[in-house]
């Protein structure tokens, strides 16, 4: 009788051990499947498609913090391009400056008003002058907020009789704002100042 009881106890121990192993294995398999499913869903959400010229292009989304230097430099570049690309056409000047002012605060508006009062834009129109800008480099300091930047560029003024190349250095700060159609990067330039704007070359035409 005691032998029979020992056999029953041994069998029960084996069944219990087998049950524990099966349960642990099932939980492990379920956990692995859930982990892989979450990872696949996360990767799928990062994949986006952009429609350009009737074609769907695949792209990958990223955290904003990973793209701050890139987006900040492009924001500064686009602001300077709109502000300093001028043609002898009042509507073109107004359209470009308006786009630039969406990207900056009142410090840019003050510079625009000063140039307007000094008849800078009137002289561009009356003298049939074309002005464009080439960005050489943009330095962004992302260690402190708001982000300080310094922009090094060259202006080219094409007149009827000459081509003037100027060295341009500006600096300011960037703070975060909401993204919009007029401000796709979600930055705003503050305390914008021009530290250098001088002629470096004059060529006769």
C-alpha 129/C-alpha 199 separation (Å) is: 16
Q: Which of 88, 86, 81, 181 is nearest to 138 (CA)?
A: 81
Strand, coil or helix: 61: coil
pLDDT of 55 reads: 57
Question: What is the H or E stretch that residue 78 is in?
Answer: helix 64-84
The pLDDT value recorded for residue 159 is: 93
Q: What is the pLDDT of residues 158-175, one digit of tens each?
A: 999 999 999 999 999 999
pLDDT for the residue numbered 2? 46
Q: Is 145 left (phi over 0), alpha (psi -120 to 50) or beta?
A: beta
In which residue are the tokens 């705003």 written?
A: 188
Residues 6+ apart with CB under 8 A from 1: none
What are the boundaries of each domain within the chain?
2-48, 63-204
Q: What is the pLDDT of residues 78-129, one digit of tens each?
A: 999 999 999 999 999 999 999 999 999 999 999 999 999 999 999 999 999 9
Compute how many other C-beta atoms are within 10 angstroms of the C-beta atom of residue 88: 16
Give residue 17's pLDDT band: very low, low, confident or very high (50, 70, 90): confident
Q: Which residues contact 66 (CB under 8 A, 6 or more apart)?
A: none
Query: What architecture does CATH give domain 63-204?
Result: Roll (3.10)
């Amino acid at each position: 009788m005691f032998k029979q009881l020992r056999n029953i106890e041994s069998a029960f121990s084996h069944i219990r051990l087998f049950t524990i192993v099966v349960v642990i294995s099932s939980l492990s398999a379920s956990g692995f499947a859930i982990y892989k499913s979450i990872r696949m869903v996360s990767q799928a959400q990062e994949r986006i498609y952009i429609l350009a010229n009737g074609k769907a292009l695949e792209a990958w989304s990223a955290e904003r913090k990973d793209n701050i230097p890139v987006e900040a430099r492009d924001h500064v570049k686009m602001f300077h391009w709109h502000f300093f690309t001028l043609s002898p056409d009042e509507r073109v000047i107004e359209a470009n400056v308006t786009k630039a002012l969406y990207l900056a605060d009142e410090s840019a508006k003050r510079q625009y008003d000063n140039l307007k009062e000094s008849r800078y834009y009137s002289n561009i129109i009356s003298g049939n002058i074309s002005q464009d800008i080439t960005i050489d480099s943009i330095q962004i300091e992302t260690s402190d907020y708001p982000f300080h930047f310094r922009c090094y560029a060259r202006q080219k003024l094409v007149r009827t009789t000459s081509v003037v190349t100027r060295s341009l250095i500006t600096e300011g700060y960037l703070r975060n704002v909401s993204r919009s159609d007029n401000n796709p990067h979600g930055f705003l330039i503050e305390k914008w100042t021009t530290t250098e704007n001088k002629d470096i070359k004059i060529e006769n035409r």
